[in-house]
Amino acid sequence: MRADFTPMMPPRAIVAPVSFTESSRVALVLAARLARHCGAELHVLHVEDPLLDAAARHEGIDLAAETFAELRRFVAGAWPAADCLTETHVRAGTAVEVILDVAHRHRADLVVVSSAERRVFGSTTERLLRRADVSVLVAPAEWTPPHPDAPDLSDLGPLVVVVDPSDSRSVPATKAAGELAAVLGTSVEIVDLVPDRDASGTGAVAHRLVEAAGATANRTPMLVLGKTASSSKGGWPGAIVNRVLSGGTVPILMYVADQIAQM
């Protein structure tokens, strides 16, 4: 039990799962820039297929050693990841379980994943968002840093927080957004869209969320939603989140207010 763990935003430790694809490189760049900006530890993780790992072991092949070497090369090619306080991990198992286990073991406040992965993270991102007791930041495959020459997230913002005054998740998510915005040197925009949820339908709400967090030439926002780990129904409906991920071009932070996990 990690009952003494208090989630922090800005994060102190970040886990970035990668699968050696270009979209996971984008997510790693976002994770690394956020780690640099916040002074956080960065844990880069690759999850091996357990059957492939078992087959390699049976043949006497040290698959982990080969993967570690590839992972180090991948990190070196995702600037500024190699310049962060970075640890690399290679683990075999089911993706969501391994990701959360590594996050728990290293007391991570945040997991950064790509929305566009198919081989490993296609359905894993959805399951991770549903099951996560750790905050999750999802990077669109087409995301690019607002200031490419900087090693951090200079010029990112504003942070767009979607709130419902009657929902207890809104308070910690708004507070977390404010604390992160202060470190990033940007502002917070609060948008109340929830009262129309039932009347508008998931498609209309998702469209309005994407619209509220729309990027322009002078605006590179991050969308912040709230979730609770203690409730199986905590957080936004999966259909809405999936539509936002499909239609959005900005990072989406699903902030978990009560990060208490079973070890």
Type of residue numbered 246:
S
CB 45 within 8 A of CB 74: no
pLDDT of amino acid 201: 57
Structure tokens at 223: 């969308």
CB 229 within 8 A of CB 254: no
pLDDT of amino acid 6: 60
DSSP class of residue 141 equals T
What value does the mean pLDDT take over residues 70-81? 95
The DSSP H or E segment spanning 123 is none
pLDDT tens for each residue of 83-132 = 998 999 999 999 999 999 999 999 999 999 998 754 444 467 878 888 88
CA distance 164 to 254: 15
User: Rounded to whole angstroms, what are the CA distances from 104 to 27, 50, 115, 119, 158?
Assistant: 20, 20, 22, 24, 29
Residue 22, exposed/middle/buried by CB under 10 A (0-12, 13-18, 19+)? Answer: exposed
- Which residue segments constitute the domains of the chain, with CATH numbers given? 13-256 (3.40.50.12370)
Structure tokens at 159: 């942070």
pLDDT tens for each residue of 187-228 = 999 887 655 544 455 667 777 777 777 777 788 999 998 876
